Structure 1
Amino acid sequence: MGLSHSSTYHSSHIRSVTESGPVIVKPHSEIYPRLPIEDFMGCDNETYSPQFELFVQSCQAMYDRHHTDMRSYYQVAGIHSLPWTPYDGVTGGIHEYKNETDWVTGRWGGYCHHADVLFGPWHRPYILLMESLLINEAKKIALQYPDNEREKYVEAANQFRFPYWDWADEKAINGLPDVFIVAELEIRTPKGKKKVKNPLKSYTLPVDLSFPLGKGYNPTDKPHYKIPTINYNPFTPAGYSTVRYPNANYEDQYDMMNRNISMFVSTLLRPIVYQILQINNYLQISNYALRSDGTEMEGFWPAHPVSLVIVGSSHYASIEVPHFIVHLAIGGPGGHFTYADINGFDPIFFFHHTAVDRLLALWQAIHPDSWVTENVSINGTYTEELYTVVNEYTDLTPFRKSKTEFWKSSTVRDIEKLGYTYPELVKFKGQDPRELQAYLLKFYKPDPHYARRFFAKLIIEAGKLVGPYVIRVFVDMKGASVETPITSPHFAGLVAMWHRPNPYQINGTTYVIGSVDITAAMERLGIRMETINSRSFVDVNPTTGLLNSNAIFDVNNDINVVPCYLNGTGVSPKEAGVNKVEVYSFIHDKVDPDFLVEDSGQHHYTNIF
């Protein structure tokens, strides 16, 4: 989470409740699927093009509302974090976030939940709120179409649901879909076909967001704009748009962004999703924080030694971790989407979080008996103090179910009761959950399909550096440095760090446990992947009859970690808090090769820094 360096807020950031009364998030009256953006945006597809055209116009309508209107895009986007003021009058009473002091303690200033079991459930009514407001705008716009088209658009307004971008689909290797990049879109409006400004590319801030930094670090200083240090949120003056991977002219650098996305899809996102779908415990997949004190999750797989820490983070076992990686890949250094305090203002935020919600919904369908348990919110929120105990009955503020009641995890568990679903859930409805699981594992299984998968596990002390930053993992490259490109065949993946120091931490040291799938890199480099038969000097592949590679895996020499900030500045592993690297592996089931066998875990080596 980014840090603010000021505790004084501009008066333009103060929210006001509109005359239309409190904002109540209501379920849709009918169930329709949320679609992948590639299908939803198909303007040549008469089934969905009216929905997409209404969606685009509805987004702009929310942009055009005054920024003090609770139903404006500015206000809804600001629920996530900044401007750190009450939304729709929802406060925490005596526990309300205090701008002047709480940010110093590390307390999260937004309403959203990170690093606790409410991460997924909290974002569910958030997307539902945005979806409902867009549908309300769409219904008004549909009535403006000519008589011969009106009925079609009225029905489209009832049916459309917020689309998602599946960043773990193989198609994502091509980068961000063009619909998020092009400056204009051609759509049919009530006044005929016309080109309109693309509201999915960026959002123009109506008021200042965050605070001015030193000379050269503000957009007003272009063309010599410098990316601010990671310690602070980038400042966006009123009238400036959100950006992704900005250059010295404060312009998007989509080539660099897409390069990162392309690399991360195969090295990180697909392997992580593949493993999440095989884990049957909600606590383990719900968020990046977990305990190893015996009261909660002790380990993630066999071959994972139990860490002697109070709070840790699992890199591959949580839906929150690939979520972080996508934020970093799209925003880059200086981009809004990178910084937790301001990323809700980039329009892609809701497409991304709809994808996260889909992943959670798919996991629920596979493992229907596991849901929200009790744990501690280590970051707090606008209405929850640090280290508050939360569970499925905790209010998901500020989302009202009625004038007097808030949504809870227990009431958002069944998405059909909220009026939406996802295509795969429709396809496998009523079937054995294992059928859906097998389908998804085949869809997301990292290629190529090796019999054994190897992982490098990093244990990192959080708080040594102010995030966000990454720890890149290279295989068989002793001289790897920040200058080594991630396009190198030696690059295996990375661990993304969004933690920041907490001077008031009361539960001991916080660690991140990051696992990187190094299998593909080992194969590229000819590192032997078969189990070695110690009684034989010759290792022969039983299928081909040919000698296998003579390379012997050595974690001391073959696993090299390179920590670096997003601006390319490197630090040593010790400075970044890396204190241990381990290597372990699992085999795939011989009957159903899409499943990893839990009890096949083998620990290979440990390197302590």
Structure 2
Amino acid sequence: MGLSQSSHYSHVSHVRDIGRVIVTPYQEVYPRLEILEFYGNPTYALQFDLLIQGYQALQERPYEDMRSFYQIAGIHGLPYTTYDGVTGEYPYKSSEFDLGRWGGYCHHGDILFPTWHRGYIQLIENQLINVAKVIANKYPARQKKKYVEAAKQLRHPYWDWANEKALEGVPEVFLKSIVEINTPSGRKNVPNPLKRYYLPVDLSDRLPEGLNPDDKNYKVPNATYVPFTPKGYPTVRHPNNHYKDQYGVLNSNVSTYVQTVFRPGFYQMFHINDYLRFSNHALTSQGKELPAQSFGQHPSPDPNLTLGRAHFSSVETTHDSLHAVVGGTGGHMAHVDIAGFDPIFFFHHANVDRMIALWQEMYPDSWVPQNVDVNGTYTDLMYSIDYDNTDLTPFRKSKTEFWKSKDVRDIKKLGYTYPELEKLKGQDLKEIRNYIIELYKPDNFYEDRFFVKVTIESGKIRGTFVVRVFIDLPTANSETPVTSPHFAGFIAMWQGTSGHNHKNTLVYGTVDITAAMVRLGIRTQTHEFAQETNTTTGELDPTAIFNNYTDIKLVPVMIDGTELTTKAAGVKLAEIFSFKHDKVNKNFLDENTGKFHAIKEF
């Protein structure tokens, strides 16, 4: 940071105590709907009216109110203050921040990432529904009954950013300044609360002169700063030097990464059958998360690095990439500390929760094991032990109890579901898996699929960056366009800018390079060297040669475009694997068919 972190942005010292905020299940089960199906669809017009008015109401509440959008958004990271009186057994101290303890309540890089964020979406959904019910009762008598029913059925929509429709960019409903809705006093054009949120107080610390939106000659701060948002200024996405959203850049980026990052990420994720590997992006260098063994016949070059058997992307890994793509340099979504203040955050995480629910449907017997939380949270010490009975603070089940992972395992008991789960009722497990795996199949069927798994040490660099993967292009750098046929995808390091990026944590991600290999005419089949050797020279046919060690180029790039060296970025290893589709079920990649090709240390 440009200024000291010691204050921890604790400017909010007085809160409005109106009783504890309790997250309650709903009596009836209704589906959360995709925003593209929800917005502009006459079937859900009344629910949309209530959603917009609900978000308006939460954003307009006094910021001291625990039920306000400001307070709910601030649970995730900044302003690192107590929510609803919840301090935990080990209250957070600002002096611990620089030692590595995370100052927000959110869980990242540990096994509670899925369940904690499930509770988070439940909280804001609860508040929206409560407000919607009040608003519904204000409609004229001829409309009131229908709106009361709509409020009962309302659930928080999700944005499926890996759907092929996302190739068109971000849905219009998140970009429009004005939306037309029917209110209790008639049809109106109202400011769109899903586009942005205006901060009621300063957020973060002021940066050096010229990097704050209210400075003259403002310039977007680089990725190593948490952007400062002055009171009265809105959240932004890919801002320019006039603090205006650049939606052309935003839409272009989303469209570009649907096929290379988002869809392949989810497709890989659904092949993981173990909750530990599925749940989060982290490994620890002391062997506290995964067994200290590497995949296949190749031994780890460094026994201190736990490579494990994980070779596909976790749900958190793909989640991270969306944050980087939507926020951009200077945008709130790109920063862990302030992402929750952009309303699109909750639509993003509703989709992540949907992914978790679909994964649970595929692997119903795998759930939260006991494990280590390296980074800690506002209520949990670093290196504390988490399991399915750990409190998901600050989400209250009652005045004296908190929700736990074991409580949120069955979403129907919480009162919601997702459309795909409704379609799968009554089907056996094989049919369920076949259906779900097809949802995000990124490309045509290939007998062999090739993957590059990258292991990165967290905390080497402050701020969010990505590691781009190029194949068969040794000259690739940060200027090489991601539209290049050599670009295979990226791994996002969505992280803060300060001491809470613990240096004992390794993050891993996997890029499927198969489609790029096919584009470039690189063989993916098993080589038949007898047929590929020139009988005169004894040399291999050039079209058959692909050097797994030298022909994979990793390019770490900050979200502002600055290129990093692999060493500076903390890149430790690149491993190349291939897997065959299972002969019984061509959609599934069987670990037993995996082949190790190369490992490269950095």
TM-aligned CA deviation for residue 419 of structure 1: 0.5
Q: How far apart are residue 363 of structure 1 and its match?
A: 0.8
Q: Is residue 137 from structure 1 mapped to residue 92 from structure 2 by the alignment?
A: no
CA positional deviation for 1:316? 3.6
Q: State the partner residue of 1:24.
A: 22
**Equivalent of residue 574 in structure 2, options 577, 581, 587:** 581
Shift of 1:275: 1.6
For 1:351 and 1:362, how far apart are their aligned partners in 2? 17
SS class of match (1:398): strand
Distance 1:579 1:89, change over 3 A: closer
Q: What amino acid is the match of 2:413?
A: K
On the 8 A contact 2:3/2:206 being kept in 1, the answer is no
Is the CA contact (8 Å cut-off) linking 1:162 and 1:354 kept in structure 2?
yes
Deviation at 1:25, TM superposition (A): 0.7
TM-score (norm 2): 0.93
1:527 paired to 2:522: yes
Query: Is 1:237 matched with 2:235?
Result: no
Show the 5 A alignment for 1:386-405.
386-405=382-401
Unaligned runs of 5+ in 2: 535-540
Q: 1:499 to 1:336 in 2, by over 3 A?
A: closer
| Pair 1:167 & 2:161 matched | yes
Q: CA deviation at 1:509?
A: 4.1
Q: Which segment is superposed worse, 310-319 or 58-67?
A: 310-319
Question: Pick from 109, 114, 129: which aligns with 2:103?
Answer: 109
> Which residue pairs with 1:607 in the alignment?
600
Which residue of structure 2 lines up, in the alignment, with residue 464 of structure 1? 460
Report the number of matched residues: 593
Partner residue in 2 for 1:201: 195
Q: Which amino acid in the other structure matches residue 230 of structure 2?
A: P
Question: Separation in 1 of the partners of 2:288 and 2:233?
Answer: 48
Q: In the alignment, which residue of structure 1 is the partner of 2:537?
A: none
Question: How far apart are residue 231 of structure 1 and its match?
Answer: 2.8
Aligned to 1:552: 545
Counterparts in 2 of 1:429 and 1:472: CA distance versus 1, 3 Å: same
1:416 aligns with 2:412: yes
CA contact (8 A) 2:238 2:245 kept: yes
Residue 511 (structure 1) shift: 2.6
Q: In 2, are the aligned partners of 1:5 and 1:232 still within 8 Å (CA)? A: no
Moved more, 291-300 or 324-333: 291-300
Superposed, 1:377-388 pairs within 5 Å as 377-388=373-384
How far apart are the structure 2 equivalents of 1:332 and 1:287? 23
Structure 1 305/57 Cα, relative in aligned 2: closer, same or farther at 3 Å? farther
Q: Provide Cα deviations, 1:306-365, integer angstroms capped at 9, x if missing partner.
A: 573456796843111111100000000110001001000000111111111111111111
Question: 416, 432, 448: which is aligned to 2:444?
Answer: 448
The answer on 1:260 being equivalent to 2:259 is no
**Alignment partner, residue 75 of structure 2:** 79
| Residue 403 of structure 2: aligned partner | 407
CA contact (8 A) 2:101 2:382 kept: yes
2:236–2:332 Cα contact (<8 Å) kept: yes
- Cα separation, partners in 2 of 1:126 and 1:510, compared to 1, 3 Å: closer
Report the secondary structure of 2:599's partner residue: strand
Contact map agreement 1:469 1:566 (CA 8 A) in 2? yes
Q: Percent identity?
A: 53
Q: How far apart in 2 are the matches of 1:445 and 1:127?
A: 27
**Aligned CA distance change for structure 1 residues 384 and 430 (closer, same or farther; 3 Å):** same
Query: How many Å apart are 1:595 and its aligned residue?
Result: 1.2
Q: Which position in structure 2 is the counterpart of 1:180?
A: 174
For residues 531 and 128 of structure 1, do their structure 2 counterparts lie closer, same or farther at Cα, with a shift above 3 Å needed? same
> In structure 1, what is the equivalent of residue 355 of structure 2?
359
Q: 2:112 aligns with which of 118, 125, 142?
A: 118
Equivalent position SS for 1:459: strand
Q: Are 1:310 and 1:510, in contact at CA under 8 Å, matched by a contact in 2? A: no
Give the Cα separation in 2 of the matches to 1:386 and 1:178: 41
Equivalent position of 2:262 in the other structure: 269
Name the SS of the counterpart of 2:413 in structure 1.
helix
Counterpart in the other structure of 1:545: none
Change (3 A) 1:119 1:4: farther
CA-based RMSD of the aligned residues comes to: 2.4
Shift of 1:304: 7.6
Deviations 1:142-166 (A, max 9, x none): 1111111111100000001001011
Shift of 1:525: 1.0
Distance 2:306 2:240 in 1: 37
Which moved further from structure 2: 72-81 or 288-297?
A: 288-297
Helix, strand or coil: the match of 1:60?
A: helix
1:186 and 1:504 map into 2 onto residues whose CA distance is: 43
TM-score, normalisation: structure 1: 0.92
SS in 1 for 2:529: coil
